[in-house]
Amino acid sequence: MPDPLLKIEDLSVAFITPGGTANALSNITISVNRGEILAIVGESGSGKSVTSLSVLQLLPSPPAVYTSGRILFNNNGQNHSLLQLPEEELASLRGQKIAMIFQEPMTSLNPVLTCGFQVAEAIRCHNRLSAAAARQQTLALFERVQLPDPVLLFDRYPHQLSGGQKQRVMIAMAMSCEPSLLICDEPTTALDVTVQKNILQLIKELQQQNDMGVIFITHDLSVVAEIADRVAVMYKGAIVEQAATDSLFRSPQHPYTKALLACRPALHTRGERLPVVADFMETDADGSTSEKNASVHPQKIHDGATRSADTLLAVTDLKVSFPATRNWLGNPKTYIHAVDGVSFTVREGETLGLVGESGCGKSTLGRAILRLTEPTAGKLEYRGKDLLRCSAREMQLLRKDMQVVFQDPYASLNPRISIGDAIAEPLLVHRIAHTAKARKEKTIELLEKVGLAAAHYHRYPHEFSGGQRQRIVIARALALEPSFVVCDESVSALDVSVQAQVLNLLNDLKKEFGFTAIFISHDLSVVRYISDRIMVMNRGRIEEIGEAEELYRNPKTAYTRRLIDSIPRMAV
């Protein structure tokens, strides 16, 4: 039997910190064969990304220390020990033989270079091509990953692209040299379901055409079921279960795997509490885990009767346009109509889900409603008051009643301000609590409501996991007890177990505070679970709107039907 393409044997990784040594990986053993896709799943902090970064030696050392094990890569029949390979030889393998799609495209792309230049540079780095030939190859790659208008996007900078478009640029760069091993670290997290389906098909096709091995890290178990041949489940730095995909999904053995499969929103109806890992496992005093014997039964958390007939928000013929090209004087010549004549209403107490493909205008619409992006035309009535006629002072007063949970919690928190001060700041600005002591007490109360301890008050954003940061920005948004909240992709980057915790939290807080919400997401199963009604957006316009379950089961338009058909399905 030929050697695996990649073999990781008894790998242990630790990080040396001022507070002591933290073990990140404990005796990891996995392998990937040519023509095989291995999925690695697990919670945030389980060691998935540390494992993938170790393969390419991208962990800074120090503080990272490889305490045991080895990583063998089979290149043209010869095994190379990557942990002992000289930097020059390792650099020649990176990108050409082993490529990686990173989780966060905005931090992986150079903000001062155009997207096309960066991909073409990667191609020329490993192949002797002229600039013109590299450009043509880049444009062809942009077409393969479904980027609209490749010629225009070639000369655009990363900040000018949507999150999904930036991710596709990263995928094009990783695939540019047709590597033997492709490491995908959450490659479809920022993508809507239709683009995700195309990208998964593309990865699968390239894997089969080139007999390529793939390590696919994801928190989406439906994607795992659709693309992976084998699955490795990680928990607290260790592999707790490995099996063929069908076998693992049909008959999971470890309680943690059972928990991951059970907490998916697609399996539960609106108003039903999602199971979480703690329902399946308990941690003993010595830190070891064991399976709970009690069976998990669905619990109703609300009956869905919180909606009122009264209209909270009325949007009429709203338009938002951005200059696309300018003349030599700097005046706009053509425009992009991000929101193009949108009209709808939101009732008191309801959650309106907003879905659509990347670049359809969802986030722009959410920001325009709050006047974080100024509308070009139309009417916005909030409790009968036209927001577009409000002065800056009037809008500042209304901010207390209208809040937003941004898509990227890390980018929306000031890295130099402790999370306690970040949550207390709105209280200070709006003079809700008049003393520092009162503000701190209110902040600690909010932290505890979102499941964080008072001891976290003085910590900074970088000291928290993605799920914890999402809880922090939710606490900050609710500090002023608003009546209306826009949640912009607030759970899209979270693994399924943390996602379940945050969705339960949002339902609990909605019941307690009674706020109205617009929930923006590309994940229709999540929107179906949490929303009363769903609104589908396409190219700046409303495609259709209806009751959540009815729209999901009986879509009226071909576009909505295509979105639903693109959702990865699981046979179990």
Dump the DSSP string for 88-127.
HHHHHHBTTTEEEE-S-HHHHS-TTS-HHHHHHHHHHHHS
Are residues 30 and 156 located together in one domain of the fold?
A: yes
Give the residue from 346, 294, 293 showing the smallest Cα distance to 318: 346
Cross-strand bridge partners of residue 238: 235
Give the integer Cα–Cα distance in Å for 565 and 569: 9
Q: Is residue 489 part of a domain?
A: yes
User: Per the structure block, which two tokens stand in for 250?
Assistant: 């049909």
Count of domains observed in the chain? 2
pLDDT at 298 over 70: no
Are residues 214 and 359 located together in one domain of the fold?
A: no
Are residues 224 and 356 located together in one domain of the fold?
A: no
Cross-strand bridge partners of residue 25: 13
Q: Give the phi and the psi of residue 363 in degrees, each rounded to 5.
A: -65, -35
Length of the chain: 572
pLDDT score of 198: 78
Of 82-91, 298-307, 459-468, 517-526, give the lowest mean pLDDT range.
Answer: 298-307
pLDDT score of 495: 73
Q: Is residue 269 part of a domain?
A: no
Tokens 């902040």 identify what position?
443
Residues 210 and 19: beta-carbon distance below 8 Å: no
Q: Is residue 467 part of a domain?
A: yes
pLDDT at 346 over 60: yes
Residues 94 and 105: beta-carbon distance below 8 Å: no
Are residues 83 and 217 located together in one domain of the fold?
A: yes
Chain segment 519-560, per-residue pLDDT in tens: 998 888 889 999 999 999 999 999 999 999 999 999 999 999
User: Per the structure block, which two tokens stand in for 288?
Assistant: 């070891």
Instruction: Give residue 122's identity as a one-letter amino acid code.
Output: A
Question: Any idea what DSSP says for residue 351?
Answer: E
Give the integer Cα–Cα distance in Å for 134 and 147: 17
Are residues 502 and 362 located together in one domain of the fold?
A: yes
**Three-state secondary structure call for residue 219:** coil
Residues 6 and 56: beta-carbon distance below 8 Å: no
Strands 213-217 and 181-185: parallel
User: Per the structure block, which two tokens stand in for 14?
Assistant: 């630790």
pLDDT at 296 over 60: no
Are residues 176 and 70 located together in one domain of the fold?
A: yes
Q: 496-513 and 466-478 are packed helices; what angle lies between their axes, rounded to 10 degrees?
A: 10
Give the residue from 58, 69, 128 showing the smallest Cα distance to 94: 58
Are residues 23 and 162 located together in one domain of the fold?
A: yes
- Tell me the average pLDDT across 106-127: 88
Last residue of a domain, one of 222, 257, 292: 257
Give the integer Cα–Cα distance in Å for 147 and 161: 10
Are residues 92 and 231 located together in one domain of the fold?
A: yes
CA 534 to chain centroid: 20
- Tell me the average pLDDT across 563-567: 84
pLDDT score of 285: 61
pLDDT score of 493: 67
pLDDT at 439 over 70: yes
Chain segment 419-431, per-residue pLDDT in tens: 999 999 999 888 8
pLDDT score of 572: 45
Q: Is residue 398 part of a domain?
A: yes
Give the residue from 485, 491, 535 showing the smallest Cα distance to 512: 485
Are residues 115 and 248 located together in one domain of the fold?
A: yes
We report the CATH number of the domain holding residue 458 as 3.40.50.300
Pairwise pLDDT comparison (96 vs 251), residue with the higher score = 251
Residue-range definition of the domain harbouring residue 518: 349-372+389-565
pLDDT at 388 over 60: yes
- Mean per-residue pLDDT over the chain, rounded: 86
Q: Is residue 304 part of a domain?
A: no
Chain segment 206-257, per-residue pLDDT in tens: 788 888 999 999 877 888 888 899 999 999 899 999 999 999 999 999 999 9
Of 96-110, 506-520, 537-551, give the lowest mean pLDDT range.
Answer: 96-110
Instruction: Give residue 255's identity as a one-letter amino acid code.
Output: P
According to the per-residue pLDDT averaged within each range, which of 29-38, 181-190, 303-312 is highest?
29-38
Last residue of a domain, one of 227, 257, 287: 257
Are residues 62 and 180 located together in one domain of the fold?
A: yes
pLDDT score of 2: 66
Q: Is residue 267 part of a domain?
A: no
Are residues 81 and 207 located together in one domain of the fold?
A: yes
Q: Is residue 422 part of a domain?
A: yes
pLDDT score of 465: 72
pLDDT at 487 over 80: yes
Q: Give the phi and the psi of residue 359 in degrees, each rounded to 5.
A: 85, 5
Give the integer Cα–Cα distance in Å for 474 and 169: 30
- Tell me the average pLDDT across 304-323: 82
User: Hey, what's the torsion of the CAs at 342, 343, 347, 353, to 10 degrees?
Assistant: -30
Residues 311 and 348: beta-carbon distance below 8 Å: yes
Q: What percent of the chain has pLDDT over 70?
A: 93
pLDDT score of 308: 66
- Tell me the average pLDDT across 250-274: 87
Are residues 396 and 502 located together in one domain of the fold?
A: yes
pLDDT score of 387: 93
pLDDT score of 8: 94
Tokens 């577009």 identify what position?
388
Instruction: Give residue 170's identity as a one-letter amino acid code.
Output: M
Q: Is residue 276 part of a domain?
A: no
Last residue of a domain, one of 257, 279, 300: 257
pLDDT at 284 over 80: no
